[in-house]
Amino acid sequence: MFSFDKRYLYIFVAIMVVYNLGGYIQNPSKLLSLLLALPAVIIAMTFHEFAHAFAADKLGDETPRNQGRVTLNPLKHIEPIGFVMLLFAGFGWGRPVQINPVRFKRNISMSKGEAIVSFAGPFMNLILAVIFSFVLGFIFKFNLLANVSSTYSSIIIILLYQIIFMNIGLGVFNLIPLPPLDGSKILRHFMPTKAQMWLDRNQHIFYIIFIAIWVLGLAGVIISPIIRIIAKGIMLLVSGTLGIDLTLLLMLLGIYI
């Protein structure tokens, strides 16, 4: 049975935090961005895991409900290492929602049910990104912060920007088709039975690949372009709907997508 000593993970994360904190402390604007990223991370992670639990519950599996996971209480969903990674690296994970596919309703296969539950998390993140992008768009469209000081209005806009990008980042990262991420379970559903069995037998290989990609910093290289493409697509949607150029308005505030 493949196992990974989590002490190495903790050491790596500790080094990354110490390395990054120096830069944040020396740069007040970066420190402010970090502080504003905290609520963004909590929102993205909480809704992501809640969506998994909610989907499983609706499909007939009461396991998440019995474990108190069908809730928007952040304390039920945050996983410390994944939280730190999402905060500093822009991608991470929450505490996995445990499910029992055997308990799914009879009119749905276990494989399909697992795929639906897995997709629910990233889908929720992308929906939130769209919602908060429209909130940002309405603020610009109707000048809703006109009576707010420039300092506070900047904080609100940066916070919304952080929420949008954290949700896109978490959603895209979890769609990578490598165990233990959601994308692997979605992909598994569409694979032939023999391929599913092969994947199950060789999961440890993909875990190693996943860890290598993560530790070497390749995850960011892979998903950053995708995140920006999705973000630009959402901005175009909001801009076209509201008749504004949201990307340009953000650029005027020094926020580049």
* Alpha-carbon gap, residue 188 to 118, rounded angstroms: 11
Single out the residue of 125, 115, 133, 131 nearest to residue 93, CA to CA.
125
Would you give the distance in Å from CA 156 to the centre of its chain? 21
Q: In this structure, which amino acid lies at residue 63?
A: T
Residues 49, 62, 79, 114: which is the catalytic one?
Answer: 49
In the residue annotation, 62 being an active-site residue is answered as: no
Distance of CA 130 to CAs 23, 44, 99, 164, 179, Å?
Answer: 31, 13, 28, 8, 27
| Distant-in-sequence contacts of 248-256, Cβ < 8 A, 24+ apart | 249/140, 250/157, 250/161, 253/154, 253/157, 255/157, 255/158, 255/161
Residue 231, classed as helix, strand or coil, is helix
Angle, vertex CA 223, rays to CA 244 and CA 41, nearest 5: 70
Q: Which residues are catalytic?
A: 49
